[in-house]
Chains A and B, each alone.
Chain A
Amino acid sequence: MSDIVDRPNAPDNAPSNTRKPISTSSEWTFDLIREYDEAIAECAREFGLDTYPNQVEVISAEQMMDAYSSVGMPVGYHHWSFGKQFLNTAKGYQRGQMGLAYEIVINSNPCIAYLMEENTLPMQALVIAHACYGHNSFFKGNYLFRTWTDASAIIDYLVFARNYVAECEERYGLDAVEQIIDSCHALMNYGVDRYKRPPPISASEEARRQKEREEYQQRRINDLWRTIPKLDDDENSVKSQRRFPEEPQENLLYFIEKNAPLLETWQREIIRIVRKLGQYFYPQRQTQVMNEGWATFWHYTLLHRLYEKGLVNDGFMLEFLQSHTAVVYQPPFNSPWYSGINPYTLGFSMFTDLRRICEHPTDEDREWFPDIAGSNWVETLHFAMHNFKDESFIQQFLSPKVMRDLKLFSIENDDQEDHYTVTAIHDDPGYRPLREKLARQYNLSYREPNIQVWNVDVRGDRSLTLRHIPVDRVPLAEDTEEVVRHVHRLWGFDVHLESVDEGTVVEEYHCPPPDFEDIDGH
């Protein structure tokens, strides 16, 4: 793909090599960072990138490790799992296995990006272009982020969450709080509303409403669990007719928060906090390829623009290109370094190719993308960035050329066969199925097991039944038992999880295990 990539990318006017480079040394100073930022901002403006204001924070390597281990939250509640993350990061860094430089950027308004003090000046410029203009404009523009997160409120909310958790620790003890958070983390990916938009989170609103909720919730839960049946004569039919919940629920944490019989109010609040954070990270999990691809495309394009303007010299470009190449390297499937498709590579290749299709369409492109071949590339790229997530972006824009360049192929692995089958490759009959399969690979509901709240035995033993619907007979992993135990801790009564494939139960998990129930005489 190098022929696409190395083209000069002047959008309108011819390069003016008359200006002096901003700097020639690789040592950075605050003044130089500011100058680079202004120059990059100017280029970003030329390409119509719309961003939140930036807050660039220069930090040390140790601080970067802190930032890593709190999954990118600038403030977070305390939990051992973040400590584990920290130890892991520190170990990797000290052994030199891991570079820390690239990026941490936070979807907030202003958009916070970290620069590490150890970076050379070209690296600082690269991170500024990548994070402060690439990711930042993605956060501001992509529909998922616009719908599901509120950049201006997140920091306040995190502060609220940390204080609340700390207060609970003081009142109820570290262990009690830790247990609840452990269980919530186990279900964090199942604490997300996929289809309805949650109200924006805000710290002050949250604090104000928390009191209100306390009273209301308890009342509601009491209603649900009222032990005296209303209609004695009709009990059986009531039982068979009315299920609870009436429709299966996909947001397990929400369901538990609202309906678990025995939870204390503070425990419900903690569930809520973890749920809100899960919701906040939900768009990121669905836009990895796009988000990284977009940021990589723009750091590449913006820094080349600087070069065209004569603001950076060859040495700068060589250092930048070396990092850039490392980032977009895709080891082939049979390489010892292969660990799946590199989202940077895929995203960068797709955006780059999208631009090519707009600017220099071939016959193939006209056939595959009649709407965009020959269109204004800046507008088309923005349209793609605004309105898609990984799954639909690939489905819509993965071109035959990218499939050829990356030499994509798909392999089927069926446990009922004694061989793998190559189902499609980068050739004419293969393009469409390949594109579909790759898109599906980025569909969260395909990547994660589909598990929903199926039933609660309201009148009986109060047990909670979850239902897993397997796709292509793929079973749940071995540690499912553990997760069910966490659900049990939150729910407080028996929890059952059944895998139901086309109407038959293929696998069951119970907590507590059924043997004990038998002994108890159930």
Chain B
Amino acid sequence: MGTTHIVDRRLNGKNKSAVNRERFLRRYRHHIKKAVADAVHKRSITDVERGESVSIPTRDIDEPVFHHGQGGRREMVHPGNQDFIAGDTIPKPEGGGGQGGGPGQASPDGEGMDEFAFQITQEEFLDFLFDDLELPNLARKKLKDTEAFKYVRAGFTNQGIPAKLDVVRSLRGAHARRLGLGGARRKKIRDLEKQLEELKSAPEELDAAFSHEDQIKAVEEEIARLKANVRRIPFIDEIDLRYRQHVKQPKPATSAVMFCLMDVSGSMTQMHKDIAKRFFILLYLFLKKNYKKIEVVFIRHHTSAKEVDEEEFFYSRETGGTIVSSALKLMQKIIESRYSPSEWNIYAAQASDGDNWNDDSPVCGKLLANQILPLVQYYAYVEITPQDHQMLWYEYEKIMERFPQSFAMQQIADPGEIYPVFRQLFERKAA
């Protein structure tokens, strides 16, 4: 008979299956990608930030093994007989084929009925969503460009200014030093005190020459000397002091600002805005994957531009004509006042139905080429229209020729194209 050993394993890693799960996702990435792309189309705008349920046809993930199929002659034993007796016959159900055959065999003609469904997390969802995409021109922001620094902790030092004194560390050091210096002496004091006690309690010798008196006195003196010694050990000394040390580190530009520019003139219907919103959300999520901190600036315009909050950006209605350059001018002003390009990665996405006053389009071109594109990482323009292009599109085409690295434009005619267009705009380009 053996003995039993009881182990608490609860604190051991629980994600033993993480690797196998990851292998599974890897193997079926095509299925999952497709599910994710579908989900983006179907989802309502506000809930892009959650996981997704993915299902794969069972037959695609089956692990085939040799086993018996339907047919032939076989006998099975079953429990729970009610009124059968040997020799009874039971007609087979019409067209059902040989049911009740092998143990636990699924009918093979249930095609597409069985789906293997599972959940992926939001992070995995985004990974699949943005697989093979990359932010253009990331390389431009090199560390040496950055002028920002931050102080990071770098342990402790024994020199510094009083403001950075670390009291706990210092006292801990002092305590250790006191123990180190005084310990041996204290032990000796204890020994001597014990000895003293023994001497005092020992019976007095008759002969004065052998009296304990002298010994006691000598011991007492020694104790007094040692105690004075110990008292002289300082409570805290210069060498105990510890200061928190900070060093300067160049701060990489990990913050990004995203400008959303949208035409809200009368010609933009709610459907247009909806498409624009989805596009902006994709961009936002994508940036979020790459940057720790993102700010979003919403600029809407008709004949004049205005910085607004998200709610107003998407849902308030305006009427009137369109002057795109007003928005560009505002954006430039905001960059100048709030987002220094040395610290911020600047992205911009503009959505419009292509309408603009014809006189304004060349102005836009000039503004973009001379003022804005030098400051931003990437500028994407989507034109939401099923119709022919107008002046603005042709003006922007010229810009795209001049700045293929930082400017891109696409047309979206219906919601189904949002994601493909997004992918085209951010497709990883061969180096």
Chain A interface (Cβ < 8 Å from any Cβ of B): 30, 33-34, 37-38, 41, 44-45, 49-60, 62-63, 65-66, 69-70, 78-88, 90-91, 110-111, 117, 132, 174, 178, 182, 185-190, 330-335, 338-341, 345, 406-427, 429-430, 434, 437-438, 441, 447-449, 451, 470-480, 482-483, 486
Contact = CB atoms under 8 A, between A and B. Distances in A.
Contacts of A416: 73
B316 interface: no
Contact of A479 (B27, B64, B99): B64
Contacts of B70: 415, 475
Nearest to B120: A87
B4 A335 contact: no
Contact of A333 (B7, B19, B68, B80): B80
Nearest to A42: B1
10 contacts: A69-B20, A78-B20, A81-B63, A334-B80, A419-B92, A424-B86, A425-B84, A447-B103, A451-B66, A483-B64
A420 B72 contact: no
B61 interface: yes
B79 A474 contact: no
B103 to A, nearest CB: 5
Chain A CB within 10 Å — which of B10, B63, B65, B117 has the most? Answer: B65
A425 B81 contact: yes
B42 interface: no
A473 B74 CA distance: 9
B108 interface: yes
A78 B24 CA distance: 10
A267 B91 CA distance: 52
A430 B91 CA distance: 22
B88 interface: yes
Contact of B76 (A69, A411, A430): A411
Nearest to B2: A53
Given A412-B74, A476-B68, A418 B116 contact: no
B44 interface: no
A225 B86 CA distance: 58
B23 A470 contact: no
Chain B CB within 10 Å — which of A33, A84, A85, A331 has the most? Answer: A84
Chain A CB within 10 Å — which of B73, B77, B90, B91 has the most? Answer: B77
Interface string B283-321: 000000000000000000000000000000000000000
Contact of B17 (A83, A411, A421): A83
Q: Is the interface of A mostly helix, strand, loop or mixed?
A: mixed
B75 interface: yes
B92 A411 contact: no
A413 B98 contact: yes
Contacts of B8: 30, 57-58
Chain A CB within 10 Å — which of B14, B72, B87, B101 has the most? Answer: B72
Contact of A409 (B65, B72, B81, B105): B81
A60 B72 contact: no
Contacts of B3: 53-54
B1 A50 contact: yes
A58 B7 CA distance: 6
Contacts of B80: 330-335, 338, 406-407
A54 B80 CA distance: 38
Contacts of A60: 10, 14
Contacts of A420: 89-90, 92, 100
B69 interface: yes
Contacts of A475: 68-72
A82 B79 contact: no
Contacts of B140: none
B68 A408 contact: no
Contacts of A341: 77-79
A127 B195 CA distance: 63
Given A408-B79, A421-B88, A117 B10 contact: yes
Q: Is the interface of B mostly helix, strand, loop or mixed?
A: loop
Contact of B86 (A85, A88, A423): A423
Nearest to A480: B66
Nearest to A82: B20
B9 A57 contact: yes
Contact of B75 (A423, A430, A486): A423
Contacts of B85: 422, 425, 427
B67 A448 contact: yes
Contact of A33 (B6, B19, B25, B26): B6
Interface in B137-180: none
A178 B63 contact: no
Contacts of A334: 80, 82
B21 A86 contact: yes
Given A91-B118, A415-B73, A483-B64, A63 B14 contact: yes
B73 A474 contact: yes
Nearest to A477: B69
Given A418-B92, A474-B73, A44 B4 contact: no
Given A60-B10, A422-B85, A437-B77, A110 B5 contact: yes
A449 B66 contact: yes
A113 B69 CA distance: 37
B78 A84 contact: no
Given A34-B4, A410-B77, A421-B90, 18 more contacts: A44-B1, A49-B1, A54-B2, A79-B23, A81-B63, A87-B118, A110-B5, A188-B65, A341-B79, A407-B79, A409-B78, A413-B101, A417-B92, A427-B86, A434-B77, A471-B72, A473-B72, A476-B66
Chain A CB within 10 Å — which of B4, B19, B27, B68 has the most? Answer: B4
A45 B101 CA distance: 44
B222 interface: no
Given A132-B4, A427-B86, A474-B71, A190 B66 contact: yes
A415 B101 CA distance: 10
A486 B64 contact: yes
B4 A41 contact: yes
B24 A54 contact: no
A231 B241 CA distance: 94
A449 B68 contact: yes
Nearest to B91: A419
A474 B69 CA distance: 7
A421 B89 contact: yes
B73 A483 contact: no
Nearest to B117: A91
Contact of B14 (A62, A80, A437, A476): A62
Nearest to B59: A479
A334 B80 CA distance: 8
B187 interface: no
Given A83-B21, A84-B24, A412-B74, A53 B4 contact: yes
Chain A CB within 10 Å — which of B9, B108, B116 has the most? Answer: B9
B2 A110 contact: yes
B75 A422 contact: no
B104 interface: yes
B119 interface: yes
B100 A413 contact: yes
B3 to A, nearest CB: 5
A330 B79 contact: yes
Chain B CB within 10 Å — which of A331, A333, A416, A483 has the most? Answer: A333
B49 interface: no
B100 to A, nearest CB: 6
B118 A474 contact: no
B22 interface: yes
A123 to B, nearest CB: 16
